[in-house]
């Protein structure tokens, strides 16, 4: 897949062939608000389910989302993983607002942090 940044014009090739649709998976993703990293969480993660009280992750309200975000370790670049953060250009770091078809799609542009393999929680 090739991604063209509307800010700097850089074309980035990624291994992913198309945008992933997370709607029928057990994965939730949050982009960093200051770099291209993405955090991927399992909806079965015991820490996550405890924070949201077992709610379906696609129906979380803003308070639930904030509790999840506040419980996550910051990105190693200093940013925070947010439900509403956009993917960022790996060349200029500007947000890519037109990249995703919808908020249930995601692309793995930058560093992918798999919370099943790395401890993402404070």
Domain annotation covers residue 28: yes
Output the pTM of the full model. 0.91
Q: Residue 34: pLDDT band by 50, 70, 90 thresholds?
A: very high
For residue 12, pLDDT over 90 is answered with yes
The reply to whether 122 falls in a domain is no
2-39: b (≥16 Cβ within 10 Å) or e: ebebeeeeeebeeeeeeebebeeeebbbbbbbbbbbbb
What is the Cα–Cα distance from 88 to 119, expressed in whole angstroms?
23
Note down the domain range covering 54: 2-114
Q: Is residue 71 part of a domain?
A: yes
pLDDT digits (tens, 9 = 90+) for 69-87: 999 999 999 999 999 999 9
119 occurs within a structural domain? no
pLDDT tens profile 16-29 = 898 888 877 788 89
Question: How many separate domains does the chain show?
Answer: 1
């Amino acid at each position: 897949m090739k991604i063209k940044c509307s800010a700097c014009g850089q074309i980035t090739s990624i291994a992913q062939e198309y945008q992933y649709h997370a709607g029928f998976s057990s994965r939730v993703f949050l982009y960093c608000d200051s770099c291209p990293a993405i955090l991927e969480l399992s909806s079965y993660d015991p820490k996550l389910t405890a924070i949201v009280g077992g709610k379906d992750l696609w129906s979380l309200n803003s308070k639930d989302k904030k509790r999840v975000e506040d419980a996550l370790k910051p990105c190693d670049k200093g940013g925070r993983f947010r439900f509403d953060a956009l993917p960022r250009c790996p060349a200029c770091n500007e947000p890519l607002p037109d990249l995703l078809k919808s908020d249930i799609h995601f692309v793995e542009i930058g560093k992918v942090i798999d919370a099943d393999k790395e401890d993402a929680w404070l």
